[in-house]
Amino acid sequence: MNQSFCVYNNVFQIGGSDISHPADCAVYLIDCGDLVLIDSGAGLSFDHLIKNIQTLGFNPEKLVAIIATHRHIDHIGALWQFREKYGVQIIAHELDTEGIEKGIRTAAQFYDIEYRPCQVDIELTGNNNMLKYGEYELNILHVPGHTAGGIAVYVDIGKRILFGQDIHGPYSLPGADKQKAKQSLQKLIDIQADILCEGHFGIYQPKEKVNEYINSYLGRL
């Protein structure tokens, strides 16, 4: 397994298939004074994620929120553990809330992992939301296509960092919509991010490589 690492300034990758568990999506931490996570992994690596947070020099007691980018188990499996142990707020778009709270269309069968439902504390609505933690404004975009309630997050910390997560799709699972995915991927190009933190396939920079990566999947739809 590789080590967790700093992506840029106060953004870190603490989880992923080669960092915490093969079933995990990329899990990112933003140090806003308090700590915010982007996704939680599949649920089999909670202790490893906590250890990675501590190894980076952070106190997991300062975790305040997890933004769940969509309802698939590799992104939400450990939500209940973080909420139960640290009292973090779980944030998701209303169109994927039912999946998270009731275990509907989580794709758990593809991973052969039992999903434990988790309450969502903050339901996002509409196409654009903003949450502020410390001095950082986390801009949240509704990007349906992979799932109905998919969201992406971007933050300006010296550079514009985009947590695009599953830009690669797939766009063939139940609940996916290729036409909406086209619009969503164009929306992500339009924000002109300097760094892309993808959900499974690494970190892309500078801006030209970010746009090239997103365009490569837009062109397949």
Q: pLDDT (tens digit, 9 = 90+) per residue, 180-199?
A: 999 999 999 999 999 999 99
CATH number for the domain spanning 163: value is 3.60.15.10
Strand residues in the chain grouped as ranges (E): 5-8, 11-15, 27-32, 34-38, 63-67, 89-93, 122-124, 128-133, 136-142, 151-157, 159-165, 195-198, 203-204
Q: What is the pLDDT of residue 1?
A: 79
Q: Could you give the CA distance from residue 121 to residue 129 in angstroms, rounded to a whole number? A: 15
Answer for the pair 138, 131: CB distance below 8 angstroms, yes or no: yes
Domain boundaries, position 180: 5-218
DSSP helix/strand/coil, 27:
strand
Task: Flag whether pLDDT at 175 surpasses 90.
Answer: no
Q: How many structural domains compose the chain?
A: 1
Task: Flag whether pLDDT at 165 surpasses 90.
Answer: no
Task: Name the burial class of residue 196, with classes exposed (0-12), middle (13-18) and buried (19+) by CB atoms within 10 angstroms of its CB.
Answer: buried
pLDDT bin (cut points 50, 70, 90) of residue 220 is: very high
Task: Flag whether pLDDT at 174 surpasses 90.
Answer: no
Amino acid in the structure at residue 136:
Y
Span 136-159, average pLDDT: 97
Span 40-49, average pLDDT: 98
Give, rounded to a whole angstrom, the gap between the first and last alpha carbons of the chain: 34
Which residues are CB-neighbours of 17 under 8 A, at least 6 positions away?
23, 24, 25, 200
Q: What is the pLDDT of residue 81?
A: 98
Q: What is the pLDDT of residue 28?
A: 98
